[in-house]
Protein backbone atom coordinates (compact mmCIF):
# COMPACT_ATOMS: atom_id res chain seq x y z
CA UNK A 1 0.00 0.00 0.00
CA UNK A 2 1.26 3.47 -0.77
CA UNK A 3 1.03 6.51 1.49
CA UNK A 4 1.94 10.13 0.99
CA UNK A 5 5.25 11.43 2.37
CA UNK A 6 4.69 14.19 4.90
CA UNK A 7 7.68 16.15 3.59
CA UNK A 8 7.60 15.98 -0.22
CA UNK A 9 4.09 14.55 -0.82
CA UNK A 10 5.57 11.73 -2.91
CA UNK A 11 4.17 8.20 -2.90
CA UNK A 12 5.94 5.86 -0.47
CA UNK A 13 5.37 2.24 0.52
CA UNK A 14 4.00 1.60 4.01
CA UNK A 15 6.95 -0.71 4.71
CA UNK A 16 9.61 1.88 3.78
CA UNK A 17 11.74 3.38 6.52
CA UNK A 18 12.86 6.35 4.39
CA UNK A 19 11.24 8.29 1.58
CA UNK A 20 13.04 7.43 -1.69
CA UNK A 21 12.43 10.98 -2.98
CA UNK A 22 13.50 13.24 -0.12
CA UNK A 23 14.99 10.86 2.48
CA UNK A 24 12.50 11.67 5.27
CA UNK A 25 12.37 9.01 7.99
CA UNK A 26 9.17 7.16 8.81
CA UNK A 27 8.54 5.82 12.28
CA UNK A 28 6.51 2.66 12.51
CA UNK A 29 3.66 2.69 14.98
CA UNK A 30 4.57 0.20 17.70
CA UNK A 31 2.01 -2.57 17.98
CA UNK A 32 2.65 -3.07 21.67
CA UNK A 33 0.77 0.15 22.44
CA UNK A 34 -2.40 -1.31 20.98
CA UNK A 35 -2.02 -4.43 23.13
CA UNK A 36 -1.41 -2.35 26.26
CA UNK A 37 -4.64 -0.46 25.59
CA UNK A 38 -6.53 -3.73 25.03
CA UNK A 39 -5.12 -5.23 28.24
CA UNK A 40 -6.03 -2.12 30.23
CA UNK A 41 -9.57 -2.16 28.85
CA UNK A 42 -10.00 -5.84 29.71
CA UNK A 43 -8.63 -5.24 33.23
CA UNK A 44 -11.09 -2.39 33.78
CA UNK A 45 -13.99 -4.54 32.58
CA UNK A 46 -12.98 -7.48 34.78
CA UNK A 47 -12.63 -5.25 37.83
CA UNK A 48 -15.91 -3.46 37.10
CA UNK A 49 -17.93 -6.66 36.72
CA UNK A 50 -16.21 -8.63 39.49
CA UNK A 51 -18.71 -8.71 42.39
CA UNK A 52 -16.03 -9.24 45.05
CA UNK A 53 -14.29 -6.02 44.06
CA UNK A 54 -17.52 -4.15 43.53
CA UNK A 55 -19.45 -5.23 46.64
CA UNK A 56 -16.81 -6.63 48.97
CA UNK A 57 -16.56 -10.27 49.99
CA UNK A 58 -19.80 -10.51 51.99
CA UNK A 59 -21.74 -8.37 49.56
CA UNK A 60 -20.60 -10.58 46.69
CA UNK A 61 -21.71 -13.70 48.56
CA UNK A 62 -25.13 -12.17 49.13
CA UNK A 63 -25.44 -11.04 45.50
CA UNK A 64 -24.46 -14.45 44.15
CA UNK A 65 -26.80 -16.22 46.60
CA UNK A 66 -29.65 -13.93 45.53
CA UNK A 67 -29.08 -14.64 41.84
CA UNK A 68 -28.85 -18.40 42.47
CA UNK A 69 -32.06 -18.31 44.54
CA UNK A 70 -33.93 -16.49 41.77
CA UNK A 71 -32.53 -18.87 39.14
CA UNK A 72 -33.45 -21.95 41.18
CA UNK A 73 -36.97 -20.74 41.94
CA UNK A 74 -37.75 -19.92 38.30
CA UNK A 75 -38.39 -23.61 37.61
CA UNK A 76 -38.53 -25.38 34.26
The backbone torsions φ and ψ at residue 31, rounded to the nearest 5 degrees and listed phi first, read: -75, -20
Rounded to an integer, what distance in angstroms lies between the CA atom of residue 19 and that of residue 10?
8
15 pLDDT band (50/70/90 cuts)?
Answer: confident
pTM of this prediction? 0.35
Domains in the chain: boundaries: 2-73
User: Which residues are within 8 A (CB) of 52 and not within 5 positions of it... i.e. 6 or more apart?
Assistant: 60
Question: Looking at residues 4-23, what average pLDDT do you find?
Answer: 88
Question: Looking at residues 12-38, what average pLDDT do you find?
Answer: 81
40 pLDDT band (50/70/90 cuts)?
Answer: very high
Question: Looking at residues 45-71, what average pLDDT do you find?
Answer: 77
Amino acid sequence: MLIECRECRGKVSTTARFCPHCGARFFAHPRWRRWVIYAALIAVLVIWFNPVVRYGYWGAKQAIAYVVTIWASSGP
